[in-house]
Chains A and B, each alone.
Chain A
Amino acid sequence: MIIALVGNQNSGKTTLFNALTGSNQKIGNWPGVTIEKKEGIIKGTDIKVVDLPGIYSLSPYSDDEEVSRKFCFEEKPDLIIDIIDATSLERSLYLTTQLLETDIDVIIALNMEDILTEYGVSIKNDLLSQKLGASIVSISAKKGTGIKDLIDLIKNKKYEHNHHIKIYPSDIEDVIADNAAHFMKNQEFKRFSAVKVIEHDKEYKVLITPKSEENNAILKEKYQMDGEQLIADQRYKFIERLKKECLTITPRPESITDKLDKIFLNKFAAIPIFIVIMALVYILSVGVIGGLTVNIIDMLFNGASVLTLDFFGLSWDFSVNVVGLGPWLSGLILNAGGSEWVASLVGDGIIGGVGAVCNFVPQIMMLFSCLAILETTGYMSRISFFLDRVFHKFGLSGKSLIPFIVGSGCSVPAIMSCRAIEDKDERHLSILLTPFIPCNAKLPIIALFASFFFGPSAWFASFSLYVFAIVIILLSGFILKHLFYKGHSSTFISELPAYKLPSFKYVTRDVKDKTLAFIKRAGTIILVCSVIVWFLASFTWSFQYVDGENILIQNSMLAGIGNVFAWFFYIMLGGNWSWAASVSAIQGLVAKEQVISSMTVIAGLADTAEEASIFTSGVFSFFTPWSAYAFMVFNLFSAPCFGAIGAMRKELGSVKAMFKAVGFQIGVAWFLASIIGAIGWLIAL
């Protein structure tokens, strides 16, 4: 048996899916979190459940909504669980009236019943069930109440079968019957199709006959509106009657959400509040947590004699004398009679490379905690609401904010989440520009450069890059819109979900997933690449070992490769020919944090001095704050990693569009970075 979960956006489908199947899919407090169908098995049964993207109607607008419609029509589930947000009954029942016109059985799960009293609403379930001709189960997907009743009902098959209740006035019902009578015998969903013929839906054009046109003309004459309007109107009229009979509403005082929105959406205060909140997020994660933790983790991996903790320009030094994992392992290998190059492979290559990105785990965890809290409270939807005006001017949608926020984690799911944007042009622009948002893998690059070159104002340098990213996204959107997507109007339809207290479960889950993904990459891709970089940097083309005395790193294979590309980075590095920085930046294609790992490995090999940091090492000492900022900008905007490029290809639909997009991104990155680098170069002259 296959069951489809269908319902409006943000109605709690995924929460119910998780409750039914015991799985742990991502849930958000904004419409459109589910973008692809997900399958699971109801606990203790062999019944398959499919969670579908939220829809408002069976004539959908965006690609993710099309997934839901297709599933119901082509895969034909045995049963639909229609999840109804009891707090917006009227709109939810509109979809129900459409589902009841298909030939699939429908059970109505009346969700969020527990908060109805808060809304001053009470629903007569039995009467409603009788009027709709469908079984109703009251549930709270979040608290888990009513789930057992729902499962029992499905298992016992005691639910009401779909017997096509009549919801329209008799003259319209007659036309429906007449239309259906003229269909071929094997026509599927006869009642549904007959209604579509009245609506003149272009997908059902082939079913239109002279007789149906004649019927339509009569209806149009009588009701003074076209078929599409008439059907929508009559559905709502039916629902209004239902509501009168089955629902009592007691007026309630202004909701907390409305009160909070008076502050958070206030004409004058909204934008300052938004800027303060976002700045706080970066002060907390990059400033406070970063300053306090980076050196501790670095000490564990690479050892230190003095531990420095920074807190807003204040810094404390502690005498520690920790050996660190890398040097300890290297020492162990040398003592056991291992050769110097094996010790270097482990110490400089593996531990150096992997440790370089692990330094940033606490900052990433803090950043994602903050963003997850903003998401789950519903504030993120407000940002999307008031930024729509700005985004729309620049060819994007307020809904582009979602991929941009998701993109601060990883571009791959972010590019996929662009599917929720209805308008094709706005969607394409969003896919193209999402990789400009600094993802968690770019954070190490930013944090490392910012903390070394900008000291106590590192948080500001980081924050400024995010602002810079937004400015460039808007500018690019504006230019591309006017070059390629002229004279096009688009729509924005969204909802403001009620404010909720942050859900601890949601936040921890989200942070755990993203952090584990980051650590996993460090242990796989970054580890392998670090070993490769170590190898290329440790040997010459004739496989002589670079010992730092007779044979220098400048003669290594890696230097040879870097020298091929160094011209490309010459201007942004302030007129410095650096094979080391070039070859590191190129590795950003594999994974962005690899840039830092590569620099660490190279610096570790180039300098034999104890405790040499990246920027005191001879190969990277040329960096000035200007060229450092330029290098950050290049890595921020240039082509994303292969994973994200793959996602772009999939969502843009062609290899050609993907190459165009990547070319555009590299072009923007090179241009901006070169300008910044050139300014620094000129100032220094």
Chain B
Amino acid sequence: MQKKKHLSIGDEGHLSDLRRGQRCLVLDFHNDNAALRRRLLDMGITKGVIIEIKKIAPLGDPVDISLRGYELCLRKADMASIDIKVVA
């Protein structure tokens, strides 16, 4: 995983690259783990959904994200499989 620092509005990258308070649009998944992919879909992480980074654990991982009016905690390794575009 290439670590890009400071994605700004309009940039594309992975969900794991964002900082607290940033919002993004989900573009696609790339994922070998079928069960995880299914779980992420079930939790509402579908193409076009808006995700905001709400809280980051004190040690930098996992991350609490907000989408579809609720919040969810994910590990950064799993977030790296989600392609996004920064919107705010």
Contacts and interface: CB of A to CB of B under 8 A. Distances in A.
Q: Is the interface of B mostly helix, strand, loop or mixed?
A: mixed
Contacts of A59: 38, 42
A170 interface: no
A495 B58 contact: no
A389 B62 contact: yes
Given A59-B38, A90-B44, A228-B38, A389 B61 contact: yes
Contacts of B29: 229
A61 B61 CA distance: 22
A61 B39 contact: yes
Given A236-B49, A388-B62, A492 B74 contact: yes
A91 B68 contact: yes
Given A236-B46, A489-B33, A228 B41 contact: yes
B41 A389 contact: no
B35 interface: yes
A90 B72 CA distance: 13
A261 B44 contact: no
Interface in B19-65: 29, 33, 35-39, 41-44, 46-47, 49, 54-62, 64
Given A236-B44, A491-B78, A88 B58 contact: no
A386 B57 contact: yes
B9 interface: no
B88 interface: no
Indicate the member of A87, A270, A495 with the most B CB atoms within 10 Å.
A495
A84 B65 CA distance: 21
B82 to A, nearest CB: 13
B11 interface: no
Given A56-B42, A489-B33, A496 B58 contact: no
Interface string A261-284: 100011110110000000000000
A225 B42 CA distance: 15
B57 A61 contact: no
A423 to B, nearest CB: 10
B69 A232 contact: no
Given A59-B38, A489-B77, A491-B33, A389 B46 contact: no
Interface of A: 56-57, 59, 61, 87-91, 94, 225, 228-229, 232-233, 236, 249, 258, 261, 265-268, 270-271, 385-386, 388-390, 392, 398, 489, 491-496
A147 to B, nearest CB: 25
B33 A389 contact: no
Nearest to B36: A491
A172 B1 CA distance: 37
Contact of A89 (B43, B59, B69, B71): B69
A121 to B, nearest CB: 8
B44 A493 contact: no
A249 B62 CA distance: 29
Indicate the member of A88, A232, A268 with the most B CB atoms within 10 Å.
A232
A249 B60 CA distance: 32
B70 A389 contact: no
A543 B27 CA distance: 82
Nearest to A59: B38
A90 B74 contact: no
Given A94-B44, A225-B47, A236-B46, A267 B58 contact: yes
Interface of B: 29, 33, 35-39, 41-44, 46-47, 49, 54-62, 64, 68-75, 77-78
B59 A390 contact: yes
A59 B43 CA distance: 12
Contacts of A265: 55, 57-58
A59 B49 CA distance: 21
B43 A398 contact: no
Contact of A266 (B36, B44, B58): B58
A90 B59 contact: no
A489 to B, nearest CB: 7
A388 B69 contact: no
A240 B61 CA distance: 30
Contacts of B46: 229, 232-233, 236
A365 B56 CA distance: 35
Contact of B71 (A390, A392, A495): A495
Contacts of B56: 267
Nearest to B42: A57
Contact of B43 (A225, A249, A493): A493
A119 to B, nearest CB: 9
Contacts of A258: 54-55
Nearest to A58: B42
A59 B44 CA distance: 14
19 contacts: A61-B38, A87-B70, A90-B44, A90-B69, A90-B70, A229-B47, A258-B55, A268-B58, A271-B58, A385-B62, A398-B62, A489-B77, A491-B35, A491-B75, A492-B62, A493-B73, A494-B73, A495-B72, A496-B73
B68 to A, nearest CB: 4
Nearest to A271: B58
Contacts of B73: 385, 388, 492-496
Contacts of B70: 87-88, 90-91, 495
Given A236-B68, A495-B72, A389 B49 contact: no
A261 B73 CA distance: 14
A61 B35 contact: yes
B68 A90 contact: yes
A111 to B, nearest CB: 14
Nearest to B74: A493
Given A90-B44, A492-B78, A389 B60 contact: yes
A239 to B, nearest CB: 8
Nearest to B37: A228
Contact of A91 (B44, B58, B59): B44
A8 to B, nearest CB: 9
Contact of A493 (B55, B57, B72): B72
A390 B61 CA distance: 9
B59 A229 contact: no
B57 A388 contact: yes
Contact of A229 (B41, B61, B69): B41
Contacts of A90: 44, 68-70
A56 B58 contact: no
B55 A232 contact: no
B36 A233 contact: no
Contact of B75 (A88, A233, A271, A388): A388
Nearest to B32: A489
Contacts of A398: 62
A398 B74 CA distance: 11
Contacts of B78: 491-493
Given A232-B42, A236-B46, A495-B73, A261 B59 contact: no
A386 B69 CA distance: 23
Contacts of B72: 493-495
